[in-house]
């Protein structure tokens, strides 16, 4: 707040350095001391009294910077005339770089002269500049030429998650999906990661619709955070996806109601603009109403598959798959953008029918209670489990918030008979062999239902050796350690544990290599762009397309923000050297936006080596410490067992501060903080091999 005030009142926006003028009075020439009394040797001006009162008030509210701010705004000499101004910045002297004059100061020690002369100036101290040299600004993106088509993957092309693609033609933009990504090890403390929509925000008047392929969070999770930024365009999707979107949107009651347009399975092309039409086509995934989307343009169709697999029986493709892709044979396909998540896995995904058949056999033979843990997004499998329990006369308990939400939607759509679902509080009213529990938490999430059962912290469900637990899910990369801990705790109950390593109790929702090859052969496209995956997955998918006959020059492997253009009436595809903004946009508590790299880096440092806080009081007249520095450590060393380390650290702090401040008038607090940080950082690393975050707090008295 104070810095903003200073900037507003300094037209140059170049905060000056303090001068080491001989006319400074080291005994208190600034007319102010700790108690707020005026120096009797100096006249007190009204504006200066106001400044002193403001400084004292800021000292109490902001101890880290109060004294340096106070010194920044005092007159440089005793005889300076203070104008009657209330703004602090007007009291500053003209800029001077005093490093060239240090050698002529007889009262400054040789060591201090060397330090002052050779030190690096902070951005505030540089002549003609008030901020560090900035990073390269965003690219200036050229306007789209008339008749060309622009495709920009804004998310999902360098990671799995936060999927979003923009298709632009003339003055119209259609956006495909608006997903989110969960935090990674590189983003500690972050809630979610979103696609960067700055390109779309700057062209929000051109956005004609948001098209959703299916209801998984990596395709709809970002809608509550970005929909207003996009101008609240209409959302086109199938019925099940619409219900999931509405359910999630209900968690954000402050947002306006969404304009959702539901497309039926037999609907033809829907005109969005005079030049662009869309059509959904059915495909196989792990959630009802999964679709791909066709965007019809004057030069041909642009196809996005969403997430896709192929239903098969040991490599024999089901008849329904041929029916779903038959519509492409007579169409001009300009560009295919396709899911790449499973491309590195050879062969075919096992059929979902085999998974259901395997679990059905287990349920029919189990004599005790059965617990099935799966992804709440595996809706079709959940429907099968509910029907299975009904067939064997079992009651069902649903555990996990997301699982309960999806079951409520199934009930609303009459996709399953839920009459035999009971509350968890009532499960003891039924014998164990008549109970089935459907639960979330197969990935080892700390507070998920299955983990609470494993830890004996669940209020109603206590596992025992007669239970059979089926983990009907695969291991998501990065969750290996959590799942290992989950299994350890489950096995401590002597229950019977079944995983997809043991038998066919899980099938992925993303097609493996042979399935993707089959889809390529069904769609006669001209250009190909792999999406939905890490870069190496996209490269592998590009190699697959090339091996199937697509020329290399017709294949584009994009990054997030790559601007792909199809020109010459659909005959040429290129990637511009300019890129759309693609920096990470994060949901961090109530904050949504780009978190500065330094914030993430600080969190990583604190997690690795902890912090070392130094609080030192310095006499601004003598440059000596008022007392031994206070030290606070968190996550670094146990202070009670490191007294020798602390003793040496205090000695280094005292020596560094007093040597640096000797002969310095006024005292440069920023410079001293930097010196203390460097010296203590070196010392701690030499004696502990750790690099904690050193935070010096220097208070002038």
| Residue linked to tokens 């008849």 | 319
What the block records as the tokens of 312 is 């098969």
What the block records as the tokens of 215 is 């209801």
458 noted as active-site residue: no
Cα separation, 314 vs 292, in Å, equals: 24
Contacts of 132 (CB under 8 A, 6+ apart): 123
Contacts of 684 (CB under 8 A, 6+ apart): 612, 636, 645, 649, 690, 691, 692, 694
Of 24, 216, 219, 510, the catalytic one is 510
Which candidate, 691, 693, 666, places its Cα nearest to that of 75? 666
Cα separation, 338 vs 546, in Å, equals: 14
What the block records as the tokens of 427 is 């499960």
Reduced to 3 states, what is the DSSP secondary structure of residue 268? coil
What the block records as the tokens of 202 is 């700057």
What the block records as the tokens of 598 is 């330094």
Residue 696 and residue 614 in contact, taking contact as beta carbons nearer than 8 Å: yes
Cα separation, 215 vs 446, in Å, equals: 25
Tell me the sheet residues that pair with 421.
Answer: 396
Residue 311 and residue 507 in contact, taking contact as beta carbons nearer than 8 Å: no
Residue 382 and residue 407 in contact, taking contact as beta carbons nearer than 8 Å: yes
Of 307, 339, 609, 668, the catalytic one is 339
The helix (H) or strand (E) run that includes residue 395 is strand 395-399
Which candidate, 464, 501, 509, places its Cα nearest to that of 483? 501
User: How big is the chain, counted in residues?
Assistant: 701
Q: What is the CA radius of gyration of the chain?
A: 33
510 noted as active-site residue: yes
Cα separation, 308 vs 554, in Å, equals: 22
3-state secondary structure 681-697: HHHHHHHHCCCCEEEEE
Task: Quote the longest CA-to-CA distance of the chain.
Answer: 99
What the block records as the tokens of 43 is 């006249």
| Residue linked to tokens 């590195």 | 344
Strand 395-399 versus strand 435-439 pairing type: parallel
Q: Annotated catalytic sites, by residue? A: 339, 510
């Amino acid at each position: 707040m104070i810095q903003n005030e200073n900037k507003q009142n300094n037209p140059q926006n170049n905060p000056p350095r303090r001068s080491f003028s001989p006319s400074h009075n080291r005994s208190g020439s600034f007319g102010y001391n700790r108690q707020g009394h005026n120096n009797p040797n100096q006249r007190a001006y009204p504006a200066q009294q106001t400044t002193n009162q403001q400084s004292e008030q800021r000292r109490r509210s902001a101890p880290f910077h109060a004294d340096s701010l106070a010194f920044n705004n005092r007159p440089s000499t005793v005889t300076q005339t203070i104008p009657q101004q209330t703004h602090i910045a007007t009291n500053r002297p003209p800029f001077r770089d005093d490093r060239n004059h240090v050698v002529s100061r007889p009262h400054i020690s040789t060591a201090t002269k060397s330090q002052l002369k050779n030190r690096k100036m902070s951005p505030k101290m540089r002549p003609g500049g008030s901020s560090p040299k900035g990073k390269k600004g965003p690219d200036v993106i050229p306007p789209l030429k008339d008749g060309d088509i622009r495709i920009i993957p804004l998310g999902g092309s360098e990671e799995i998650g936060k999927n979003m693609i923009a298709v632009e033609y003339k003055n119209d933009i259609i956006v495909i999906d608006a997903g989110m990504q969960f935090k990674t090890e590189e983003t500690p403390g972050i809630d979610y990661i979103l696609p960067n929509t700055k390109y779309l925000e700057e062209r929000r008047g051109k956005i004609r619709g948001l098209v959703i392929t299916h209801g998984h969070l990596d395709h709809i999770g970002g809608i509550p955070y970005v929909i207003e930024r996009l101008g609240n365009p209409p959302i086109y999707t199938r019925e099940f996806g619409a219900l999931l979107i509405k359910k999630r949107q209900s968690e954000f009651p402050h947002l306006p109601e969404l304009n959702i347009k539901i497309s039926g399975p037999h609907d033809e092309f829907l005109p969005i603009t005079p030049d662009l039409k869309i059509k959904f086509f059915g495909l196989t995934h792990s959630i009802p109403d999964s679709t791909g989307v066709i965007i019809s343009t004057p030069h041909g169709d642009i196809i996005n598959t969403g997430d896709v697999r192929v239903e098969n029986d040991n490599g024999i493709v089901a008849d329904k798959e041929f029916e779903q892709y038959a519509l492409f044979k007579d169409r001009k396909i300009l560009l295919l953008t396709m899911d790449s998540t499973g491309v590195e896995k050879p062969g075919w995904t096992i059929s979902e029918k085999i998974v259901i058949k395997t679990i059905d056999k287990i349920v029919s033979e189990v004599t005790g209670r059965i617990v099935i843990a799966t992804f709440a997004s595996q809706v079709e499998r959940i429907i099968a489990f509910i029907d299975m329990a009904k067939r064997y006369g079992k009651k069902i308990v649903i555990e996990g918030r997301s699982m309960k939400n999806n079951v409520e939607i199934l009930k609303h759509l009459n996709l399953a008979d839920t009459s035999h679902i009971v509350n968890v509080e009532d499960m003891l009213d039924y014998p164990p062999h008549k109970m089935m529990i459907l639960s979330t938490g197969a990935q080892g999430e700390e507070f998920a239902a299955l983990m609470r059962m494993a830890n004996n912290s669940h209020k109603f469900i206590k596992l025992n050796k007669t239970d059979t637990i089926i983990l009907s899910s695969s291991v998501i990369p990065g969750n290996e350690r959590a799942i290992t801990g989950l299994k350890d705790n489950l096995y401590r109950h002597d229950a019977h544990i079944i995983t997809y390593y043991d038998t066919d109790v899980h099938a992925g929702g993303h097609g493996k290599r042979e399935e993707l090859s089959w889809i390529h052969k069904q769609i006669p496209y001209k250009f190909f762009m792999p999406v939905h995956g890490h870069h190496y997955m996209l490269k592998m998918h590009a190699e697959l397309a090339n091996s199937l006959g697509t020329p290399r020059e017709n294949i584009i492997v994009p990054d997030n923000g790559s601007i792909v253009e199809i020109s010459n009436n659909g005959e040429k595809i290129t990637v511009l050297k300019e890129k759309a903004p693609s920096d990470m946009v994060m949901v961090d508590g109530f904050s949504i936006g780009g978190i500065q790299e330094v914030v993430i880096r600080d969190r990583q440092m604190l997690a690795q080596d902890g912090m070392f806080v130094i609080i030192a009081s310095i006499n601004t007249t003598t440059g000596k410490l008022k007392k031994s520095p206070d030290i606070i450590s968190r996550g670094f060393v146990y202070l009670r067992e490191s007294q020798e380390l602390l003793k040496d650290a205090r000695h280094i702090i005292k020596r560094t501060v007093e040597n640096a401040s000797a002969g310095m008038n006024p005292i440069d607090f920023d410079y001293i903080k930097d010196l203390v940080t460097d010296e203590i950082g070196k010392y701690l690393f030499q004696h502990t091999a750790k690099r904690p975050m050193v935070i010096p707090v220097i208070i002038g008295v």
